[in-house]
Each structure stands twice: as structure tokens, then as C-alpha cells.
Chains A and B, each alone.
Chain A
Amino acid sequence: MTAGTFTPAPGRAPMRAILKSQIRMELVLTARRGEAVVLAMGVPLLVLLGAGLTEATNVPSDDRLGFVVPGVLALTVMSTAFTGQAITTGYERSYGVLKRLGASPLTRPGLLFAKTAAILCLVGVQILALALVGVAVGWRPGLAHLLPAVGVTVLATAAYCGFALVIASLLRPETVTAGATLIYVLMLAAGGIMFAAPDLGTAGWFLLPLAAHAEALRDTLTDGTAVPGNIWLSLALWAAVALTLAARKFRWE
């Protein structure tokens, strides 16, 4: 019998090739949703220029850019890894995309890895772009503590991604969109980005991960000092709780 067009020849492609094309698809689709990109980049950019260059807000520092730019970088991480990820995943679930991908050679760990890798790519590009804008308008970061800055950013990204997947699993996509946007706006106001965060002492680091992350970036990049132990602890706890919840609650249908 000669082989026909559809003669079975099943097999999984090498995982590297699968992940490469899946990450590419995640990035292409993100770029295609203009409003998500604007939300992720546009708002932080406006905050950077508005609060960094004008006296529009009172910042608790003489070095306006030194206060605002690290905060804006932290805000971008939250906007992409939490708000953007939650909205996208909520809709993918309601469209049945996750279900379909769950039943493909991709495998579930593969999909989660691709999603996280795509988010890290995006966060990296966005931080670099906004930092360059900051430098262009006069921010002078020190790079001696770059590694801990990257470390807290990875922890923050993990925490945001985890919570994004949890709320995308628990709520309807419309509710996810509204909720994730509301949290974004609240954190923008209370997270110590444009003006000082509420003075809650150390407890503030544990209640407001955005404020903790922003402070850690200020310490490392602007002031050239180490990240306080409580901030490491706070972000590590947030990440652990978020990822544990995500592993338990994440639904594919």
C-alpha cells in the first residue's frame, strides 16, 4: 500500500521548537492587541513624563526622576504581568483556546512556560524602553546593584503572573477585565509611583507589592544601596502564595 496524504505519522516536535513557536505566537498576539500595549506602555510613559518632569505631583524626594522612574518600571511589570496577563488569559479560556491547547502536543507545562517566557520578554523590552526614555530626560541610574534589581523584578513578575492566572480562572472574562483594571488603577494611586505610598511602615511592603518593588528599584538603581530584607521577604511571599494558588486553582476550561 502506498502512503497516502493522510497516512498517520504522528509524533511530537522537539520541545524547543514547540516552545519557540508558541512564545512567538504569544508575542505576536500581544503586539496585535493595541489597547493592551498602550495600557502596558502608554500609561507608565505618561506617568514618567508627567510626574518626572513637572511639578504635577508631590514626590517625597528632591530627585524627582530618581523617585518616579523606578516606580514607573515597577508599574510596567505589574501592568504587563498582572493586568495584561489576566485579561488575555481570561478571554483565552472563554474562547476555548486553553482547552484546545491543553489537548495538543504542546503540554500544559509547555504552555505555562511559553506564557511566562513571553511575559518576561515583554517586561524586559518594556523596562529597557522606559529606562532609556528616563535616561534621555535626565535619570542617572547606578548599575552596581543591577543583579538584585533584576532579582526582585523576576519575583514580582512571578507573583503578578500567578495572581493573573488565579483571577482568570475564577471569574468571567468581563469581570476579570474590570477587576484587573481597577486593581491597576488603585495600585497606580496607592503604590508609591506618582506620590508617596501611604505610610504604613514595614507592613506597607507586605500589603502593597507594587510599592515594595518600586522601593527596591529606587534603592538599587537610584540610590545604589542593597534591597532591604523585608522587601525580599515580601516579594518572595507574594510570589510563593500566588504560584501556589495558581497551581491549585488554574482551570483550563
Chain B
Amino acid sequence: MPENAVDVRDVVVTYGEVTAVDAVSLSVPRGSILALLGNNGAGKTSLLQVCEGFRSPAGGSVRVLGLDPIADHDALMPRLGIMLQSGGVYPWATAGEILRLFASYSARPLDVDMLLDRLGLRKFARTRFRRLSGGEQQRLSLAVALVGRPELVFLDEPTAGMDVGARQTTWELVESLRADGVTVLLTTHLLDEAESLADHVVIMDNGVVAATGTPAELTAAAGIDLLQVRADPGLPVADLAGRLDAKVTEDAPGEYAIAGALSTDALAAVLAWFAARDAQVTSVNSRRRTLEDVYLALTASGGVVR
């Protein structure tokens, strides 16, 4: 059994003259969650469609559960759960009928009523798909992807159009998938979704991989970038700034902000400086770079080194 559920090597996807995905490589270890993060048009869905076998790549190779998504289509499909970005369901069928239909394709499906309950859809079991709200349709699509007890699920923007509560429910569900050994590859443009769910994040921008790593790795590289210190007012901030490669301000009397890439030595120097002036430090807050900072820095125009 291959170690990775998904292996993408140098995949290129073109639409006529436009290159949507340009030599992207990534792998998804079994039992983990990988988030493809990027703006609309970054190439996330195109890459996912190659993995799902909907599209053949113009270059590169893809192995999904050790198989070729197009050549081994029939062998692969029972093992995959696929959630499309929209549609894909008979508009005139009810939610219950749709889920039962997809359950009937599988040898050992999940209990349909349990799944409807988990996704808060039980009261819509007799409602036709076209009468469901966008968020309800999304939840049903997720249920359809899961009902066959797949090894690997592809979720394309799983929480798009969901309200806060439904989003939370969906996140908890995705976490239980991982806990039960299901591999998840999802696309999102929501930073908090990627940061809170994913074991690995691949940031895509304009069809290429801009950065990759765990959320911690992506944010830790930059370290602490802001230190807020509360101490006696009126200390000479220019003196401190002169000793550090940082910007120091007294935002309010006794509230100091030290902004910059702060190494451990720099942090020690800051506190030593306050101690040397007999200032009583009553509070220290540090702020780490968030995934959002990393993301914005990477995807800002010209921010990606090709």
C-alpha cells in the first residue's frame, strides 16, 4: 500500500492558451488533511479535477491511492468521496432520496439517517434539492461524498455558502474523518479553515505552489513580530530602538510596542533594557505571524519568486 494517498508530480493544466496549473507537485499522507489554499483562479479546483479524473493533465503525473484517476476510474471510484463545488444532484429529488441513491451504490454505506442527523439535514429529508438553501445543498453534497465510507475524500470549497454554525459542524465532521483514518484533500480560500483543520497547507498562487508546510511551520518561520509591554510611562523609546532592529513606540502612557522580526536575543534585550531602568513590567504580550500574514505576503502581486 503506498504511503501517500495522493501523489501529484509536476502537473500542468492548460485551458487553450491559459496555464491554470503550472508544474505543481504535492503529496497527501494517508490519514491526514491537506488544504489547498488560494484565491479564486489560483488553480485549486483544476488541480482537484485532475486528481478526481475529470480532467487529464497536459503534463506530469497523478497517482491516487496508487491508481491512475482516469485509466483506473472504475476501480478507484468506490474508494473515493467527491464533493463538487456546486451542483451534481438531481434538483427534483429530495435530500433523503439522493443520499439513499448514493448509499445504494456502496457495499457497506453509512447509515443514512445518522448522516442526515450529523449534518443537521434530517428535517430536510423530504425537501427537494432545489428548495434547499446554498448551505444546505453544500451539506448534502458533503453527505453524498461520505456515505460510501471512502478512504479518501476530495472536498472542493466545502464550507462555501455555509453560515457560522454549519461551518463549525462541517469542521468537526472533517476532524472526525481524520480521527477515523480517512484522508482529506480540500480546497479553501478561508485562512482559518486551513489553519484550524489542516495538517499540511499548500498555498497556491497563479497556478504555482507559493509555499507549503504545516500551519505551524508556515507561521513559525517568521517568529514573533510584535511585543507589547506595559511598564512605567515615559521611558526613552528611541534609546531602545537604537539597540534593536525594530520600531519602538509608546502608544499610550506606559504601553510600549516593539515591532519587527524579534529573535530570542532581541526579546531578552528588551526585558533587560526595562530592568536596567528599574521599570516595573506588569504585562508582556507577544504576537506571532498568522497564516494570514504569510498568505498575504506570498500572494500579493509580485510576492512570489518564480
Residues on A facing B (Cβ under 8 Å): 1, 3-14, 17-18, 21-22, 25, 28-29, 32-33, 92, 95-97, 99-100, 103-107, 253
Contacts and interface: CB of A to CB of B under 8 A. Distances in A.
Given A17-B104, A25-B101, A100-B87, A6 B93 contact: no
Contacts of A7: 149, 180-182
B68 interface: no
B101 A105 contact: no
Given A12-B105, A105-B77, A33 B87 contact: no
Contacts of A13: 104-107
B179 A104 contact: no
A11 B180 contact: no
Interface string B98-109: 001110111110
A17 B103 CA distance: 11
B79 A10 contact: yes
Given A8-B150, A8-B180, A95-B90, 16 more contacts: A5-B176, A5-B180, A6-B146, A6-B177, A7-B180, A9-B108, A10-B78, A10-B79, A12-B78, A12-B106, A18-B104, A28-B97, A95-B88, A96-B87, A100-B87, A100-B89
A74 to B, nearest CB: 29
B89 to A, nearest CB: 6
B53 A10 contact: no
B78 A4 contact: no
Residue among A7, A22, A97, A104 with max Cβ neighbours from chain B (10 Å): A104
A178 B78 CA distance: 37
Interface residues of B, number: 41
Contacts of B97: 25, 28
B50 interface: no
Residue among A1, A3, A14, A100 with max Cβ neighbours from chain B (10 Å): A100
Given A33-B92, A95-B90, A103-B52, A8 B149 contact: yes
A96 B107 contact: no
Nearest to A25: B101
Interface in B30-61: 52-54
A229 B69 CA distance: 47
Nearest to B76: A103
B54 A103 contact: yes
27 contacts: A5-B114, A6-B180, A7-B180, A8-B150, A9-B107, A9-B149, A10-B78, A10-B79, A10-B150, A11-B108, A12-B105, A12-B106, A13-B105, A17-B104, A21-B100, A21-B105, A25-B101, A28-B93, A95-B87, A96-B88, A99-B54, A103-B77, A103-B82, A105-B105, A105-B106, A105-B148, A253-B54
B149 A10 contact: yes
A1 B102 CA distance: 28
Nearest to B128: A32
B84 interface: yes
Given A10-B149, A21-B101, A104-B105, A92 B180 contact: no
B176 A6 contact: yes
Contacts of A103: 52-54, 77, 80, 82
Nearest to B93: A29
Pairs of residues from A and B, 7 with the lowest C-beta to C-beta distance, nearest first: A100-B88, A11-B107, A96-B87, A4-B180, A21-B104, A6-B180, A105-B105
Nearest to A24: B101
Contacts of B93: 25, 28-29
A106 B101 CA distance: 10
B98 to A, nearest CB: 9
